[in-house]
Amino acid sequence: MDFFNKVGETLTSFGNGVGSKTRNMMDLSALTSQLHQHEDTLRKMYEEVGRKYYAEKKGQPEEAFAGVFSQIEAVEAAAGELRKKIEINKSMVTCPKCKGLTEAGSQFCKHCGNPMKTAEAPVQQNQPVQTQQTGETDQNN
């Protein structure tokens, strides 16, 4: 009871006094950012509920969700295709002559036969980048 009375006092005294306009503005931005935090939390929770529901009812959605479920399936399939394409692209190099894609490490472009510089193979992210460790590097290419 005491606690709530004190909160009430603080709230009423807060808006009074000189410079209350500035205070209100600061108050407003604090309130807005609190609101955004809550909205963010809600979004995550709704998403969690949705994910769980989808995982549970996948394959036998209730009638009201059948449309959304098939949309999810379609978008997931499309996203899967894009992921595959991106993975393939990462292991490909662009031919400087015809701009076609050829597997990294190939000696010749599979489209136009242009000799490919193997040095132009993309650097794999999980492999360390080879720099000149010693003074002697083989320059046989």
Contact footprint for Zn ion (CB under 5 A): 95, 97-98, 100, 109, 111-112, 114
The closest alpha carbon to 87, from 104, 75, 100, belongs to 104
Task: Indicate the DSSP class of residue 18.
Answer: T
| 51 vs 99 by CB, closer to Zn ion | 99
Query: Closer to Zn ion at the Cβ: 106 or 114?
Result: 114
In whole angstroms, how close is the CB of 76 to Zn ion at the nearest point?
A: 34
| Least Å from the CB of residue 64 to Zn ion | 53
| Residue placing its CB nearer to Zn ion in the complex, 61 or 100 | 100
Helix (H, G, I), strand (E, B) or coil at 116: coil
DSSP states of 19-51 = THHHHHHHHHHHHHHHHHHHHHHHHHHHHHHHH
Q: Which is nearer to Zn ion, 14 or 108 (CB)?
A: 108
Amino acid identity, residue 42? L
The minimum distance between CB 118 and Zn ion, in angstroms, equals 15
Give me the phi and psi of 92, to 5 degrees please: -115, 155
Minimum distance of Zn ion from residue 124's CB (angstroms):
22
Distances from the Cα of 37 to the Cα of 44, 45, 47, angstroms: 11, 12, 15
